[in-house]
Chain A
Amino acid sequence: MLELRNITKRFGNVLANDKVNIVVKPGTIHAIVGENGAGKSTAMRIAYGFYKADEGEILVDGHVHDIETPHDAIALGIGMVHQHFMLVDTMTVAENIVLGAEPGSGIALDLVQASFEIRRLSEEFKLAVNPGSVIERLSVGQQQRVELMKALYRHARLLILDEPTAVLTPQEVEEFFSILRRMREQGKTVVIITHKLTEVLAISDEVTVMRDGRVVGRLQTKETNATELARLMVGREVLLRVEKTPAKTGSAELSVRNLSVTVRGGAKPVKDVSLEVRKGEILGIAGVEGNGQTELMEALAGLLSPSQLSGEIRIEDRDITQEGARLRRELGIAHIPEDRHRRGLLLEFDLAENSILGVHYRHPIVAYAGTFLDNGAIRRRAKEILEGFDVRPANPDLPARALSGGNQQKLIIGREFKVDPKLLLVVQPTRGVDIGAIEFIHRKLVGLRDSGCAVLLVSAELEEVMSLSDRLLIIHEGRIVGEVDPKVATIEEIGLLMTRGH
């Protein structure tokens, strides 16, 4: 169906694809796995005409084709669903689906006929979407269905899906996989780009593994396993399970009583939350994104206005509900935020400057009678963090923007660990981070807990919260709806609490 032959692509000095050969057989689900920056998205974007290869050729149905633009790819029956959805939020489902392939004459937009066709396709592939809905009012799962419909509407025979499950809940993933299987039954070919090994094993027929821009393995899914795939991806043996000893917990470090958060417009994303995090434990909070986790963590970190909060937040014996972020930090709260670009880093600043955020006004960073920044102290601190947390490249003069997501995350984690926190608030610590770095981050978090720090962890990755947490709370629509023991609870049980709240 699709074959990439000796594809090479450079971005500046970076060799993103180095003589890549991929063969996708018709009627199969083909997984392409690899760490971030391995070149899997680049290869598929070349096949879709988003990038132009420097060398090599693309074969579709056995013939060499010049694919210059997405338009050419669409004409050959190739569709692509990008990791970040390519939808116009303010337009309707039908408008998005027909965009660029409008039916009827050039003068009048025939959305009636289009809606008819959309309904027929929905039926055939069991993709429930209402053509008249506006995109921004749809859930992420529904938006993904619109993306699939867009490709099907253009008569795609081959669908390339880039990290399609990153945004879905466990239930939605199941549903999504059954849609993919249905497509395969109907004779479509699917390429799925992912770094989640369990999904590769669950859905694909064949796997291509990439590392550092090269193909390092071509396997039949039946004949491989997670350990082998992880080793191929990372290039060394990888520990997939988190290893930890039972928690030695102490007294309560953080106690929250009846905390509610009110936002502009009167909505309450957090309702009446009470919880306690003890010294030396990791308390996990699992929930579908957008159920109040973000606001809860921001409330604890002091990033919301005290007027938005009701209830009580205590660090040991001190009530800090009315206090701002600076005092909270001085009391020993560290925060690894959800959105590292928005809250975690100043992307245009260099690594040295980023590594002192939060302590930038204190000794020893500020010297000379509290007036000037001490450049020597800044660089020493930056160096310790970059080396201690394996941030690559460890060059303090680079802007934070130049680092990969995983290395940005390691920089933030290093910075927050450096203040010897008593309480660590950590949200999505491994989002968009490679397997190798995930292993590293998990080990560091467990190590911090073992040194007696209280850790409050929010993650949408169920496996992550389950394997890291000593206790696990489930949040649904702003309320804590249950506590489970992560050692005995099942994914199904937690998934149900997350989606239904009971």
Chain B
Amino acid sequence: MAEIFTISLIWSTIRLTTPLILAALGGMFSERSGVINIALEGMMLAGAFTAAAVTYAVGSPFVGLLAGMGAGMVIAGIHAIACIRYRADQVVTGTAINILMIGVPGFLSGAFFLSSGSTPQIPKEQLIPRTPIMIAFALVPIAWYVLYKTPFGLRLRSVGENPEAADAAGVPVARMRYAGVLLSGILAGIGGAYLSIGQSSLFTRNMTSGRGFIALAALIFGKWRPVQTMLACLLFGLTEAVTIQMQGVVKLPSGEDIPVQFIHMVPYLLTIIVLAGFIGSSRPPKALGIPYQKER
């Protein structure tokens, strides 16, 4: 056991938690405004691919990061227009975006880099391994302040709880919801960019591998509150870090290695257990998932 719980585990946890926090806080802004954001996964993929491609082309990871944020925002814009303007089913729209974003990066990388699904390797000195970590953890108190201590946050929460009441009080419901969803795209985009130009050095097909959904689970587990959500992300990050360290260390009683696929299951299993066990005690924003239509 001592071989697993080491200082490097802490670093590993922080690195693995970073994209979760970014996506989960993004999801928080969207869901607090009343729009279910199951499309976090797709927004992360958009951010990851765009950041890697732009960094490779331009040579600057910061330009790449900005591009990743922009890509997340564009995808979020699609989700927002479908859900807010056209009142589409938010879960279906989100799912469609996720499916779309599994295909689009492969298609584009085929067009630009003549590869099937991944971008070319980026030199080590053009990566940003630390900046997104700092952004993620600094965002937690900032998100808390914005949500609870600013007029913007008050309005955002009100349209997610009771849009009729917000409307009657003169709050522009649609505009607040657009803001929430677009913010989620920007943050998920940073989270995705960190995966490709922070932790790794290229984009690979479906490299988020469900992190958008784990972030969503952390958001629910964290009761749609910034600090609790961060703690939930840390729990999932720690689990993932432990499973990585376990590979080849923890053996079956027979002396054989545990198949790596089983170890990889652990974070996802934890997600299911946490959601099944705690979702009942968590209270979502009241108007979550319900499009708002003004009577005219």
Contact = CB atoms under 8 A, between A and B. Distances in A.
A310 B169 CA distance: 47
B253 interface: no
A101 B161 CA distance: 18
B169 A106 contact: no
Interface in A14-47: none
A371 B161 CA distance: 46
A70 B158 contact: no
Contacts of A96: 165, 169
Interface in A71-128: 71, 74, 80, 82, 85-91, 95-96, 98-102, 104, 106-109
Contact of A69 (B149, B165, B170, B286): B170
B161 A91 contact: yes
A52 interface: yes
Interface string B167-179: 1111100000000
A88 B170 contact: no
B154 A98 contact: yes
A-B pairs, top 4 by smallest CB distance, nearest first, are A100-B169, A102-B151, A86-B165, A100-B170
Contact of A82 (B161, B168, B295): B168
B66 to A, nearest CB: 24
Contacts of B162: 86-89
At the interface, is chain B mostly helix, strand, loop or mixed?
Answer: helix
A104 B157 CA distance: 19
Given A95-B154, A100-B166, A106-B152, 6 more contacts: A50-B295, A86-B165, A86-B169, A99-B158, A107-B150, A109-B154
A108 B150 contact: yes
B152 A99 contact: no
Given A87-B162, A88-B165, A91-B157, A101 B170 contact: yes
A99 B295 contact: no
Interface in B206-262: none
Among B154, B169, B286, find the residue whose CB has the most chain A CB atoms closer than 10 A. Answer: B169
Nearest to A87: B165
Contacts of B150: 106-109
A479 interface: no
B89 interface: no
A90 B288 CA distance: 14
B296 A80 contact: no
A51 interface: yes
Interface of B: 149-155, 157-158, 161-162, 164-171, 286, 295-296
B146 to A, nearest CB: 10
Contact of B169 (A50, A101, A104, A108): A101
Contact of B296 (A51, A87, A89, A101): A51
Interface string A254-274: 000000000000000000000
A306 B168 CA distance: 44
A73 to B, nearest CB: 9
A80 B153 CA distance: 24
A109 B153 contact: yes
B152 A88 contact: no
B151 A106 contact: yes
Given A86-B164, A87-B162, A88-B166, A99 B171 contact: yes
B168 A88 contact: no
Contact of A99 (B149, B154, B164): B154
Contacts of A106: 150-152
A150 interface: yes
Contact of B155 (A99, A108, A150): A99
A85 B162 CA distance: 11
Among B162, B164, B171, find the residue whose CB has the most chain A CB atoms closer than 10 A. Answer: B162
Contacts of A86: 162, 164-165, 168-169
Contacts of B295: 50-51
Among A51, A96, A100, find the residue whose CB has the most chain B CB atoms closer than 10 A. Answer: A100
Contacts of A150: 169
A69 B162 CA distance: 17
Among A51, A87, A99, find the residue whose CB has the most chain B CB atoms closer than 10 A. Answer: A99
A353 to B, nearest CB: 27
Contacts of B168: 50, 70, 80, 82, 86
21 contacts: A51-B295, A51-B296, A70-B167, A70-B169, A71-B170, A80-B168, A86-B168, A89-B161, A89-B286, A90-B286, A91-B157, A99-B155, A99-B165, A99-B166, A99-B169, A100-B169, A101-B169, A101-B170, A102-B151, A108-B149, A109-B153
Contacts of B157: 88, 90-91
Nearest to B160: A88
Contacts of B165: 85-88, 96, 99
Contact of A100 (B149, B153, B171, B296): B171
A98 B157 CA distance: 13
A74 B169 CA distance: 9
A68 to B, nearest CB: 11
A74 B171 CA distance: 12
Nearest to A71: B170
A148 B154 CA distance: 20
A85 to B, nearest CB: 8
A230 B178 CA distance: 49
A90 B161 contact: yes
A460 to B, nearest CB: 24
